[in-house]
Amino acid sequence: MESQFTTPIEPHIGCIASALTIIGQKWTALLIRDLYTGPKRFSQLEKSVGGINPRTLCQRLEALEEYGIVTKQTFAEVPPRTEYTLTDKGKDLVPILRSMAAWGDKYNQTC
């Protein structure tokens, strides 16, 4: 019987690093958390995440779009409206965020 400490965490070296490339930057996990509840506009994300520079928010959203985690939809209205939505690939990250939240709740007294 294998102990939990001899079973590798990742099936191949580099899997964790690959995931961190996408979700490891500051603010990214919080953006995914907030998009989980449904489509959001840029200003809504700016407020919900709190403290993020608009330029940084734009960069994070563009990167998430490139990785296929988020889709961006622009509506031809006056004024124009743009919404960001999690893709199925993005929704697959939710169990990871739930695990992070549970760990934070267990070990951080400020949660």
For 10-19, write each residue's pLDDT tens digit: 888 888 899 9
- The answer to whether residue 24 is domain-embedded is yes
Buried b vs exposed e over 62-76: b needs ≥16 C-beta within 10 Å? eebeeeebbeeeeee
Give the chain's domain count.
1
Per the structure, the complete domain to which residue 77 belongs is given by 15-107
Mean pLDDT of the chain: 91
- CB atoms inside a 10 Å sphere around CB 105: 10
- Model confidence pLDDT, tens digit, residues 40-65: 999 999 999 989 999 999 999 999 99
- Within-domain flag for 66: yes
Q: Is residue 56 part of a domain?
A: yes
Tell me which long-range contacts 57-61 makes (C-beta under 8 A, separation of at least 24). Answer: 57/27, 57/31, 60/25, 60/27, 60/28, 60/31, 61/31
Residue 10 lies in a domain: no
Length reported for the chain = 111
7: in domain: no
Give the CATH number of the domain where residue 57 resides.
1.10.10.10
pTM of the model: 0.85
- Is residue 6 in a domain? no
